[in-house]
């Protein structure tokens, strides 16, 4: 029943000679490969696993993951994991019910037992950038679009289970974005809007995700290729749509042709803002760090906060990976002495906001503004980082 070619060694794994954990992982890859017409498996440089936060996944994966662990499953390539529902070291998360924090720790421990690095971040590329041209098996849509578009690595939009199966086997079926013909531009976007901040780029992303579905756009016109802008735009595009990658450099379009041209003007951006932003008097939380902050972003925030104190009635969270947090000790000190918190291992999208007393949130991330009303029943407003920090400092 399989059309996909397997080497003798792969065949043996498929037949269970290395045990159930590898057998079931191989079967997942072969079935997915068959479904999408792959002819073979190809080696991957790294894998990135989603499905870590107990808030978003619940108890569902625990039994399967435990079974993999009992069957001595272990990843064969560098594998990182997405944020969880808690910062394992920050005391504010101790206010959450013990049952849920214990369950969360258990899930992290099982993944770690399988050999997945305790990275707990959606930006594994800040820990180690994927090589240009390398094949990956990454879940987490914002990391996928970043890897394909900015790092020029090659990955499909994996789900948690398929990324994990690839991690155990060290390979992925060769289909979709692993093949050059599927990485062609399928729409040209003419940006006629004035994009003034990272939040505006996020709004462009929200708008484009809706009109593009899973198409691959070349974005030209009034855009800047700054990393933060592209990161925010990509994350948003992958949230409101299924866009797996984008091009932003005209030179890449030379050899490719497409007839579909979509113009975006200021009205489209404003409409996207109206769709995702709510109005409220004061945010309970100001949140920067979706996707998790780079060292550069933490530095920007600390410069804005240096020597100042934030309002007592507003909380400020700066979320980043523990890896970056450890590198940013001086900036962290500045932010925390102003009354903000630098939080790792989690973020406002995948933690229990209501249980932590948060009903309104302001953020510079369009992805967060899109998700938190749906996932946590929390109202959101979008503003650039500078404005967010100004509001946190207002007397």
Partner 1 sequence: MDKILRGRPIVPGKASGIALVSMKPLSFLGGIDPKTGVVVERNHDLFGKTIKDSILCFPHGHGSTVGSFVLYSLAKNGLAPKAIVNVLADPVVVVGAVIANIPMIDKIDVSQIKMGDLVEVDCYSGTVRILGR
104 to 133, contacts with partner 1 by CB under 8 A? Answer: none
Min dist CB 59 to partner 1, Å, is 7
373 binds partner 1 (CB under 8 A): no
Count of residues that bind partner 1 according to CB under 8 A:
25
What is the x/- site pattern for partner 1, positions 130-169, by CB under 8 A? ---------x-------------------xxxx--x----
351 to 370, contacts with partner 1 by CB under 8 A? Answer: none
41 to 60, contacts with partner 1 by CB under 8 A? Answer: 50-51, 56-60
Nearer Cβ to partner 1 (73/217): 73
Handedness of CA 305, 307, 311, 314 (dihedral sign): positive
How large is the angle between the packed helices 266-276 and 198-212, nearest 10 degrees? 90
Nearer Cβ to partner 1 (338/376): 376
Q: Which of 6, 13, 28, 389 contacts partner 1 by CB under 8 A? A: 28
Nearer Cβ to partner 1 (173/340): 173
Tokens of 246: 């984008």
What own/partner pairs with CB < 8 Å and gap ≥ 24 does 148-156 have?
148/177, 148/183, 148/244, 148/245, 149/230, 149/234, 149/245, 149/246, 149/247, 149/248, 150/227, 150/230, 150/231, 150/234, 151/125, 153/45, 154/178, 154/183, 156/244
Min dist CB 74 to partner 1, Å, is 17
Tokens of 293: 């902050």
Rg (CA), the chain: 21
Min dist CB 339 to partner 1, Å, is 36
Mention every residue, 6+ apart, whose C-beta is less than 8 A from residue 57: 51, 107, 160
Min dist CB 30 to partner 1, Å, is 9
63 binds partner 1 (CB under 8 A): yes
Give all strands (DSSP E) within 41-117, no chain letters: 41-43, 46-49, 78-81
Handedness of CA 380, 385, 390, 393 (dihedral sign): positive
Min dist CB 242 to partner 1, Å, is 12
Strands 217-221 and 187-191: parallel
Say how far apart CA 319 and CA 286 lie, in whole Å.
11
Q: What letter does residue 130 receive in the DSSP assignment?
A: P
Nearer Cβ to partner 1 (151/164): 164
64 binds partner 1 (CB under 8 A): yes
196 binds partner 1 (CB under 8 A): no
Say how far apart CA 351 and CA 349 lie, in whole Å.
6
33 binds partner 1 (CB under 8 A): no
Nearer Cβ to partner 1 (156/368): 156
32 binds partner 1 (CB under 8 A): yes
35 binds partner 1 (CB under 8 A): yes
Min dist CB 163 to partner 1, Å, is 9
In residues, how long is the chain?
395
Residues making contact with partner 1 (CB under 8 A): 1, 24, 27-28, 31-32, 35, 50-51, 56-61, 63-65, 67, 139, 159-162, 165
């Amino acid at each position: 029943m399989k059309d996909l070619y397997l080497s003798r060694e792969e065949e043996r794994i498929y037949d269970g000679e290395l045990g159930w954990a590898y057998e079931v992982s191989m079967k997942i890859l072969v079935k997915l490969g068959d479904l999408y017409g792959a002819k073979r498996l190809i080696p991957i440089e790294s894998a990135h696993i989603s499905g870590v936060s107990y808030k978003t996944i619940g108890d569902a994966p625990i039994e399967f993951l435990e079974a993999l662990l009992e069957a001595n499953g272990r990843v064969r390539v560098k594998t990182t994991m997405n944020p969880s529902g808690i910062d394992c070291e920050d005391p504010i998360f101790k206010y959450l019910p013990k049952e849920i924090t214990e369950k969360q720790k258990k899930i992290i421990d099982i993944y770690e037992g399988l050999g997945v690095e305790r990275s707990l971040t959606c930006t594994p590329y800040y820990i180690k950038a994927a090589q240009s041209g390398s094949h990956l098996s990454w879940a987490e849509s914002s990391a996928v679009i970043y890897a394909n578009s900015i790092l020029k690595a090659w990955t499909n939009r994996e789900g948690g289970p398929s990324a994990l199966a690839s991690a155990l086997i060290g390979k992925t079926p060769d289909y979709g974005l692993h093949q050059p013909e599927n990485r062609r531009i399928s729409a040209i976007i003419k940006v006629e809007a004035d994009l003034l901040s990272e939040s505006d780029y996020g709004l462009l992303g929200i708008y484009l995700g809706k009109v593009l579905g899973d198409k691959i756009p070349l974005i030209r016109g009034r855009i800047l290729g700054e990393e933060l802008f592209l990161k925010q735009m990509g994350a948003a595009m992958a949230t409101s749509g299924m866009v797996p990658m984008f091009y932003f450099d005209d030179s890449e379009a030379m050899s490719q042709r497409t007839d579909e041209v979509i113009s975006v003007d200021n009205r489209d951006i404003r409409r996207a803002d109206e769709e995702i932003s709510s109005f409220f008097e004061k945010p309970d939380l100001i949140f920067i760090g979706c996707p998790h902050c780079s060292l550069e972003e933490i530095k920007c925030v600390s410069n804005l906060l240096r020597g100042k104190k934030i309002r007592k009635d507003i909380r400020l969270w700066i979320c980043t990976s523990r890896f970056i947090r450890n590198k940013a000790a001086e900036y962290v000190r500045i932010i925390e002495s102003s009354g903000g918190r630098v939080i790792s291992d989690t973020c406002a999208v995948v933690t229990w906001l209501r249980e932590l007393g948060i009903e309104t949130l302001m953020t510079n991330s369009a992805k967060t503004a899109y998700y938190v009303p749906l996932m946590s029943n929390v109202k959101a407003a979008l503003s650039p980082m500078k404005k967010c920090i100004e509001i946190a400092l207002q007397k």
